[in-house]
Amino acid sequence: MKKNFCYGLTALLTMCFSVCVLAQQKTIFTTANKKVVVYTTADSTNYRLSQTATASFSPAVQPLETQPSIFVDPSHSFQTFLGMGGALTDAAAETFAKLPAAKQQEILDAYYNTDKGIGYTFARTNINSCDFSSDTYTYVKDGDKNLSSFNLSHDEKFKMPLIKKAMQSSGNKLRLFVSPWSPPAWMKTNNDMLHGGKLKEDYADAWANYYVKFIKAYEQKGIPIWGLTVQNEPMATQTWESCIYTAEDERDFIKNHLGPTLLKNGLQSKKLIAWDHNRDLLYHRASTILNDAAAAKYVWGIGFHWYEVWNGGHQYENVKRVKESFPDKNLMLTEACLYPFSWQTMSQWKWGETYGENILHDLNNGAVAWTDWNILLDETGGPNHVGNFCFAPIHSKSDGSLHYMNSYYYIGHFSKFIRPNAKRIISSSNRAQLQTTAFRNEDGSIAVVVLNETPQRFAYKLFIGSQAVDATSLPHSIQTLVIE
């Protein structure tokens, strides 16, 4: 009798545990009393993040194959979204400083205000100079291996004031990560900050300490640092600041120098991001570093860029491959921009669609954050000390006027409505022409993004279970449908 009782109790507890687990895995969502507000940006219209429709759910039956449909399922959730943003470079800061006060406030509202703008919560800035600087600079005197001459006076003129204003405008919710383009020339094999070269082994510890000096100096100036990347584009020999690390080089630098140095100095909570280059070699770099436990223990995640199109197209699936293989590590896009700069091509609709497609695929493949390149550039696509001019979502002219590219609005369809700590949920389309992703925010609202890069107009139904709403996707458009 005692044996049967124990058996029955065990079975009951097992059943209760299973129900609890299922309850945790499934998120209950009802469409009752919910409305859908549709925001649209579309080519050949005046719609720019414009509210274009409202709708309510009603009972719906099994759709036919001939009926375009999008199926949202909140009961299955995936990665937690951390946010989106753009880089606060020297170029952005110098351009910002030349604007009248009212235009400066417009920029801050456009990016960091969730009501007036698109609600950025991420930012990136450069350690030492990068191409989007007006000059080449470091923070120490030549040969100062002990870094006793470390001084941030260069950044205090333009860059740090902009960063502080951006943080304040975001309600101090801005996560800032920092990236070096090159160590000082005297630490490198080519004795040049530009044109690639490698870090000299004798200076590995000094260079690791350089990150610590930078982070602590910024924080002493009232600018908290969320994370850091090891090296911007470590496989590219550029005409601007650059430094080469093979996968093994980066692994060993993290394992033997940077990771232990951050730990020794109490900075182990800073998010250390490896790679910071294109999706083409993403899996190779991630697997080389993350399959080594002694290096992987220091790494929060893998950063990537989108510039692999030069070799045949975007390789979105490589993001998914890394997430599948290393599910406990994070993925985020750390840089993206469009080029070459030209006022004659600025209004082409393809620019916004490039952003929409990339962001959507990266989120669906597991990215937790997405950070654009310069938030602001001048009328030349700079300043840039090596002439590597490109587009930014907003440009200013010498007369103080601001010009918004369609990319600004495409980014906003994600960043404005998908808020930090949202969970990605299922959104599935039965039309290749209608690309989609969806997230459930902490407040319970759902943001569904629908991207249409074709010249076709689609009337479609958005389903949640047996309830649906009618919607229309305009040619060359992006929509965010907010269910609340």
Active site members: 233, 335
> In this structure, are residues 452 and 478 in contact, taking their beta carbons and an 8 Å threshold?
yes
Does 420 sit behind a cis peptide bond, omega within 30 degrees of 0 on the bond before it?
Answer: no
> 466: helix, coil or strand?
coil
Complete edge-to-edge strand list for the sheet that includes strand 394-396 = 376-377, 394-396, 402-404
378-398 burial code (b ≥16 CB/10 A, e <16): beebbbbbbebbbbbbbbbee
CA 164 to chain centroid, in Å, comes to 20
441-469 burial code (b ≥16 CB/10 A, e <16): beeebbbbbbbbbeeeebebbbbbbebbb
Q: How far apart are the first and last CA of the chain?
A: 54
Q: Cβ of 152: how many Cβ atoms within 10 Å? A: 17
Tokens of 76: 């299955």
> In this structure, are residues 413 and 37 in contact, taking their beta carbons and an 8 Å threshold?
no
> 429: helix, coil or strand?
strand
The pairing of strands 83-87 and 369-374 is parallel
Residue 266 amino acid letter: G
* Long-range CB contacts (within 8 A, 24+) of 25-30: 26/75, 26/76, 27/74, 27/75, 27/77, 27/423, 27/425, 27/440, 28/75, 29/74, 29/75, 29/440, 29/446, 29/464
C-alpha closest to that of 130 among 304, 384, 382: 384
Q: Which residues are bridge partners to 66 per DSSP?
A: none
Q: Which residues are bridge partners to 178 per DSSP?
A: 125, 228
> 29: helix, coil or strand?
coil
Residue 111 amino acid letter: Y
Does 383 sit behind a cis peptide bond, omega within 30 degrees of 0 on the bond before it?
Answer: yes
